[in-house]
Amino acid sequence: MTLILASSSPIRRQMLEQAGVPFDSIPADVDEASFKERHRDPAQLATALAEAKALAVSKSRTSDLVIGSDSVVSVAGTLFGKPVDREEAGAHLRHFSGKPITLTSAVALARGGKPQWKHCDQATLQVRPLSEGFIEEYLDAEWPEVGYCVGVFRLEGRGVQLFDTIEGSFFTILGMPLLPLLAALRERGVMSS
């Protein structure tokens, strides 16, 4: 059995590699827009997307265990996706300025087109007041890389400058609740316990 990560996310791949988890990567083809129309609750949306990605890849890799993961950002009940361009990234940052954002990350396992396990976690990040000058300098330095990131930041990079306080798991903020996933892999005999 091979462990498959249903994602092309560099940070999710890096998390698994650094944890010593052997895996292959196959990006999932999932229509995320249709899920966003059906799920307005961040936890439901992140979990549904994570599970859909794992299921999509597991249907063609029936004997393998597939990991799906997704993250969403919300501010006062409004969901934010990845920005489509630099202009929208700036608009997101202006909206986040001075407010707490909730980052919700979920992870799921599937095998043979059937769900096996799922977990969802949330973190709260207090965005400091951001000046227009800072937003432009930040995007000059971080664009286009942060365009692939929900919340327009990479906590492992300059994105840490956006925040006054952070409450929650570092791994959840990076985009995948890693510790619960590792426990689930050990429970299934994929990793030594």
Q: Given the residues 70, 121, 140, 164, select the one marked as catalytic.
A: 70
Whether residue 150 contacts residue 102, with contact meaning beta carbons closer than 8 Å, is answered with no
What secondary structure does DSSP assign to 43-90, as a single string?
A: HHHHHHHHHHHHHHHHTTSTTSEEEEEEEEEEETTEEE---SSHHHHH
Whether residue 117 contacts residue 123, with contact meaning beta carbons closer than 8 Å, is answered with no
Specify whether 64 is catalytic.
no
Q: Report how far residue 162's alpha carbon sits from residue 125's, in angstroms, rounded to the nearest whole number.
A: 9
Active site positions, annotated: 70
